[in-house]
Amino acid sequence: MQRPGHGAALAALPCLVALVADAAVFAMTRRQLPDRLATHFRLDGTADGFTGRGAFLATSALLLAGFAAVMAVLVGRATTRSGWLLVTGYAVAGLTGSLFVSVQLVNHAAHGDASAVRLSPWHLALAVMVAAACAGAGLLLARTLPSPDPDSPSAHHARLGLADGELAAWAQATGSWPLGALGLVLTAAALALFPFTGPAAAALLAGGLPSLCFARLYVTVGRQGLTVTPGRLPWPRIRLPLESMTEASHRHVDALGDFGGWGYRIRSGASGVILRSGPALVVRRAGGREFAVTVDDPATAAALLNTLIARREAH
């Protein structure tokens, strides 16, 4: 049995290692660094932006520490195995930490003249290689994360007691009031700005209308399988036929921890329509991938799907 903080500690580890490395290099090179470090570079590698030594250390430390805290919270709150999140966090920490160290080293080599600093493509290539190595380490460590308990109540694959030939269907509306509010604000702003600036209004409208359309979804379960439709619109819709399913279940999902955000999400081994954190209907497909949709009363929907799947297999 893994300790509750095991995932959070693993998630924060690469950021903390990068933070220690960044601080150690700064301590060793501080006396030889320019008063203002070259910290921003053009495509050809020459410097065009500068930051004070203390400000650079404070900024890099805050970024790495903040990212460590965010990753610890996301992985720690995840209710499913979040290996993909761990791998991403390790890669970002490796890339960021390597670039911070490289910036200090190239400034150290300039012997006090920050205007002569150049960040070569080799430094970028090295950062990418470090990120890839860290991602590999994250992939190996992800195997130590706990899997969902198959004996938990939310994982039971119950069925409804339908008689032979008896038909049943289930439908439920689900939505996100923050997404709807965002759509209203963007659409209202677009209408207000349209007489003054057409392009800006069009950009706001392009964000507002989809937000309004997808703020409310309708989820139906029946002989045709599972269907997710945005509002009252006939398209775009997601339909999973019974033939593509092997089982259905329900569980609590965390939008950020399990899927990395809201909306239509794709991650390793799963996809879904995630409008909020909370109960979700989860369907396992024939290839082993899962599809999840956050909706009220997913237990009834899962039981009906399991009954229909079993009935179809029996025939």
pLDDT in tens, 22-65: 999 999 988 888 888 988 888 888 888 888 888 999 999 999 99
Instruction: Check whether 149 has a pLDDT greater than 70.
Output: no
Q: Is 298 exposed, middle or buried (0-12, 13-18, 19+ CB in 10 A)?
A: buried
What pLDDT sits at residue 150?
A: 44
Beta-bridge mates of residue 247: 284
User: What's the pLDDT band for 233 if we cut at 50, 70, 90?
Assistant: low
Ranked by mean pLDDT, the top range of 9-18, 82-91, 155-164, 228-237 is: 9-18
Please give the helix or strand (H or E) that residue 170 lies within, else none: strand 170-175
User: What's the pLDDT band for 4 if we cut at 50, 70, 90?
Assistant: very low
Peptide bond into 241 cis (omega under 30): no
What pLDDT sits at residue 154?
A: 45
> What's the whole-number mean pLDDT along residues 125-145?
87
What pLDDT sits at residue 221?
A: 92
User: What's the pLDDT band for 81 if we cut at 50, 70, 90?
Assistant: low
Instruction: Check whether 111 has a pLDDT greater than 50.
Output: yes
pLDDT in tens, 163-185: 677 778 899 888 877 777 777 88
Contact 79/126 with Cβ under 8 angstroms?
no
Q: Is 14 exposed, middle or buried (0-12, 13-18, 19+ CB in 10 A)?
A: buried
What pLDDT sits at residue 126?
A: 92
Compute CA distances 139 → 86, 129, 145, whole Å: 7, 15, 10
- Better-predicted residue by pLDDT, 30 or 149: 30
- Better-predicted residue by pLDDT, 27 or 254: 27
Q: Is 142 exposed, middle or buried (0-12, 13-18, 19+ CB in 10 A)?
A: buried
Neighbour order of strands in the sheet with 278-285: 245-253, 278-285, 290-294, 270-274, 263-267
Compute CA distances 89 → 37, 137, 138, 260, 285, whole Å: 27, 11, 8, 12, 28
Encoding tokens for residue 19? Answer: 């933070």
User: What's the pLDDT band for 18 if we cut at 50, 70, 90?
Assistant: very high
Instruction: Check whether 234 has a pLDDT greater than 80.
Output: no
